[in-house]
A and B are shown apart, each in its own frame.
Chain A
Amino acid sequence: MHSIVYDEIHDEFVVPQQFGQAILTFRGGANGEEVPVRVVQGSLTQLRNPDRLALDPVHNEIFVPQGNSVLVFSREAKGNVAPIRVIKGPDTLLGASALAVDPVHDLLVVGGRARGLGTRLLIFNRTDEGNAKPKAIIGGPKSGLAHISGPFTVYPAKNEIIVSVRGSSSESNEMSSDECFVGVWSTQDNGDVPPRWTIGGPKGVLRMVRGVDLDPKNKSVIVTDKRLNAVLTFYFPEMF
């Protein structure tokens, strides 16, 4: 499973189920072998490989990246339902593998690699649909965005995007690289912009960082690391 988001407002968490092409929503306190409270699955959904997702609990929407498109569902959708919006088309420049929503500033940040264009963060308006152009693009050699390593998140209070990034690609680096890092960009960035803050590489603690989430109350960044097979918490007051 490559994504999980907790919905603080409705006390639920949402996960994608890639093999069954489904989106599952559980109650926040789910424990043991519990049935999801909602399942989105079926021929109308257009779900092909729901690997990651993002949640906007304020506007009640679920976003699913799917390569050259982004599918948007109602948070309360269940059963065999169509997306309420789809972002797709040549102007979108999408190569969507992960995304995050800033419901405060009405932004959608989509990360991924489009053929021939490298890895970038594309910033859209939250309500964009169809063949929409991104309003900003972060990427390039100075950005260090070699390969987005997992699901990422945003911190709207400071306009921040927090992304896990793999080290440069080589056979051994596919397994472990002390170049990998967590980088913090701004939703107001545009172009080949280096991260404002980083945790990890080069020569860092992390080996193959994957997921990232925030604990604003304790000013902490929480990350998973595949090679360490561990969950690490960093105290990071400067970004909060």
Chain B
Amino acid sequence: MSGNDRPRRIYFVALLTLVAVLAGWALVAGNFKLTEPFTAVFSLFRKPVGSAQLVSYDPLPAGAMDDECNGPLVDVSSALAAEPMQEADVSAKKPVRMIRDRYASYSSVAVDPTNDEVVLTDENLFNILAYNRLDNTPSTRVTEPKRSIGGLKTKIEFQSGVYVDPKNGDIYAVNNDTVDTLVIFSREATGDVRPEREVHTPHGTFAIAVDEDHQELLLTVQHDSAVVTFQKTAKSEDAPIRLLQGEHTLLADPHGIALDTKNDLIFVTNHGSVHQFRPGAVAASGRIRESDLRKSNWPLGFSNAIPGSGKNLLPSVTIYARSASGDTAPLHVIQGPKTQMNWPTGIAFDPTSNELFVANDMGDSILVFSASANGDVAPIRVIKGPQTLIKNPTGVYVDSKNDELWIANFGNHTATAYKLSAAGNTPPLRIIRSAPADQPTLSIGNPHPVAYDTKREELLVPN
């Protein structure tokens, strides 16, 4: 034995002795957790080896979720159960805390009046949920959906827009930001099933409107400030048949879209941030797939953006002729401080009253305008206040058959129904709930970055 080996042997004997003592202690103590002292002992002898090695492993402490968000204990078992603990590998570490809302967050809404169903998209747990239209759930309960579509086969994630075909109940659901695919399901679809039809879309679509008379579907494209129109029967890699994009359109981070099919008008809500594209540019690669570059009417993306052209306009509703394409100016624009718009998101049109209903996300309100309004005009009426339960509304739907207005409230686990003529601080007629009213809404939707504020010991999570 060399002199260098002697200290190592002493350490080894000491380690064996300590392990034996601890094992005996564990046998006597019964309920003793072996992992902590063993981990501590091993750490004394650990050296960097350039690869994973056991240092510690940490059980999920009961109630840890409560410490983090003062909310419900989140069930992480579904995420973790399928993953056997690899105790000898640091990579298998489990989180000590997970902030996650375990209830659906409704983002868009449509009604199937034929079947008396309300269809909602859920951007938290990634489902499309169909409820009985007449459900009305007390604050302590959760509304049971009639059907749920969700799972990896469905390609459903952050579905921000939904349309229900009035003839056959087919469900069209638009993805925002993560899966560039419009998915279409039959009314009977349930569970983790493949869409009946898919349409590859530009990145960052948000909302959908369908013109049944002309058999066309229109999608807003948030990232590229555009509206693309497809044949309603489009599938797979079909190209759009029209594109509305350019500086003169005044499209600026467009979100909601609605149609007046009688007067051939398109209504679009805009949050206001926009940049310009090189005039006459041809779509260039970057985020755009090479195969999409060969398609007609594909919107220009960031690769064609003019550096330094960005600006922040006031939020607006822009109105176009149904067949508008290219860099066409709107027919009229609702915009200005009197409008109260603050992240106007979903929009719906009532042909009977010629009114527009705007889901005013940051204003916690529904703004009602005449569809003929122009300029800086105040809403005809506003639905807002604590009795309304409206909180971060992102989806809105006019159910003309039943004279009702439906709101998807992203901010409080509810979808709420009102008379179309509702105004002020009016309680809803009925409430669909994904969670009891006392459960906090985390409002996490597509978290990307995270920053730790060391001063306040807070997590900053943009969505």
Q: How far is the CA of A101 from the CA of B446 in the complex (A)?
A: 26
Is A231 engaged at the interface, CB distance under 8 Å to the other chain? Answer: yes
Contacts of A224 in B (CB 8 A): 447-450, 461
Partner among B48, B68, B305, B460 whose Cβ is within 8 Å of the Cβ of A6: B460
Apart from A176-B152, A229-B124, 16 more pairs, CB < 8 Å? A3-B448, A4-B449, A48-B306, A196-B50, A197-B52, A210-B449, A211-B447, A215-B452, A224-B447, A226-B157, A230-B74, A230-B444, A230-B447, A231-B100, A234-B94, A234-B96
Q: Mark B249-286, 1 if CB is under 8 A from A, else 0.
A: 00011000000000000000000011100000000001
Is B98 engaged at the interface, CB distance under 8 Å to the other chain? Answer: yes
Is B372 engaged at the interface, CB distance under 8 Å to the other chain? Answer: no
Q: Are B450 and A211 in contact (CB under 8 A)?
A: yes
Is B311 engaged at the interface, CB distance under 8 Å to the other chain? Answer: yes
Contacts of B138 in A (CB 8 A): none
Contacts of A230 in B (CB 8 A): 74, 98-100, 444, 447
Contacts of A172 in B (CB 8 A): 152
Known interface pairs A8-B455, A205-B80, A226-B446. Does A21 touch B94 (Cβ–Cβ under 8 Å)?
Answer: no
Q: Mark B440-457, 1 if CB is under 8 A from A, else 0.
A: 000011111111111110
Residues of B in contact with A, size category: 35 or more
Q: How far is the CA of A13 from the CA of B458 in the complex (A)?
A: 12
Contacts of B286 in A (CB 8 A): 67
Most buried by B among A80, A226, A229: A229
Known interface pairs A19-B273, A22-B310, A231-B444. Does A204 touch B83 (Cβ–Cβ under 8 Å)?
Answer: yes
Of the candidate stretches A38-46, A103-111, A116-124, A129-137, the one touching chain B is A38-46
Q: Are A212 and B450 in contact (CB under 8 A)?
A: yes
Is B51 engaged at the interface, CB distance under 8 Å to the other chain? Answer: yes
Q: How far is the CA of A97 from the CA of B456 in the complex (A)?
A: 29
Q: Are A236 and B97 in contact (CB under 8 A)?
A: no
Q: How far is the CA of A22 from the CA of B252 in the complex (A)?
A: 15
- Those of A154-192 within 8 Å (CB) of chain B: 172, 174-176, 178, 181
Known interface pairs A172-B152, A204-B83. Does A231 touch B98 (Cβ–Cβ under 8 Å)?
Answer: yes
Q: How far is the CA of A177 from the CA of B454 in the complex (A)?
A: 31
Contacts of B308 in A (CB 8 A): 21, 41-48, 80
Q: Are A13 and B448 in contact (CB under 8 A)?
A: no
Partner among A45, A201, A223 whose Cβ is within 8 Å of the Cβ of B91: A201
Total of A-B residue pairs, C-beta within 8 Å: 215
Write the nearest CB–CB distance from A173 to chain B, whole angstroms. Answer: 10
Partner among B48, B99, B460 whose Cβ is within 8 Å of the Cβ of A4: B460
Q: Mark B104-132, 1 if CB is under 8 A from A, else 0.
A: 00000000000000000001111000000
Is B139 engaged at the interface, CB distance under 8 Å to the other chain? Answer: no
Is B62 engaged at the interface, CB distance under 8 Å to the other chain? Answer: no
Closest chain B residue, CB of each to CB of A30: B460
Q: Are B96 and A220 in contact (CB under 8 A)?
A: yes
Contacts of B155 in A (CB 8 A): 175
Is B79 engaged at the interface, CB distance under 8 Å to the other chain? Answer: yes
Is B307 engaged at the interface, CB distance under 8 Å to the other chain? Answer: yes
Closest chain A residue, CB of each to CB of B274: A19
Contacts of A44 in B (CB 8 A): 308
Known interface pairs A19-B273, A29-B456. Does A181 touch B450 (Cβ–Cβ under 8 Å)?
Answer: no
Q: Are B99 and A175 in contact (CB under 8 A)?
A: no
Is B225 engaged at the interface, CB distance under 8 Å to the other chain? Answer: yes
26 contacts between A and B (CB under 8 A): A4-B449, A6-B453, A17-B310, A19-B225, A19-B274, A22-B310, A28-B453, A33-B342, A41-B311, A48-B305, A49-B305, A67-B286, A80-B308, A151-B448, A196-B48, A197-B90, A200-B91, A203-B84, A210-B450, A211-B449, A224-B449, A230-B99, A230-B447, A233-B68, A234-B93, A234-B96
Q: Are B305 and A20 in contact (CB under 8 A)?
A: no
Q: How far is the CA of A236 from the CA of B459 in the complex (A)?
A: 17
B residues sitting closer than 8 Å to A (CB atoms) are: 46, 48, 50-52, 55-56, 58, 68, 74, 79-80, 83-84, 86, 90-101, 123-126, 152, 155, 157, 178-179, 222-223, 225, 252-253, 273-275, 286, 302, 305-312, 342, 362, 444-456, 459-463
Is A84 engaged at the interface, CB distance under 8 Å to the other chain? Answer: no
Is A5 engaged at the interface, CB distance under 8 Å to the other chain? Answer: yes
Partner among B222, B448, B459 whose Cβ is within 8 Å of the Cβ of A226: B448
Q: Mark A37-64, 1 if CB is under 8 A from B, else 0.
A: 0000111111111001000000000000
- Those of A199-240 within 8 Å (CB) of chain B: 199-201, 203-205, 207, 210-215, 217, 220, 222-238
Q: How far is the CA of A2 from the CA of B100 in the complex (A)?
A: 19
Is A194 engaged at the interface, CB distance under 8 Å to the other chain? Answer: yes
Q: How far is the CA of A198 from the CA of B92 in the complex (A)?
A: 9
Q: How far is the CA of A3 from the CA of B451 in the complex (A)?
A: 9
Contacts of B362 in A (CB 8 A): 33
Contacts of A65 in B (CB 8 A): none
Write the nearest CB–CB distance from B193 to chain A, whole angstroms. Answer: 14
Partner among B98, B225, B450, B456 whose Cβ is within 8 Å of the Cβ of A28: B456
Contacts of B178 in A (CB 8 A): 175, 226
Partner among B126, B307, B446 whose Cβ is within 8 Å of the Cβ of A48: B307
Contacts of B445 in A (CB 8 A): 229
Q: Are A232 and B95 in contact (CB under 8 A)?
A: yes
Write the nearest CB–CB distance from B222 to chain A, whole angstroms. Answer: 8
Write the nearest CB–CB distance from A47 to chain B, whole angstroms. Answer: 6
Q: How far is the CA of A227 from the CA of B155 in the complex (A)?
A: 12
Q: Are B447 and A198 in contact (CB under 8 A)?
A: no
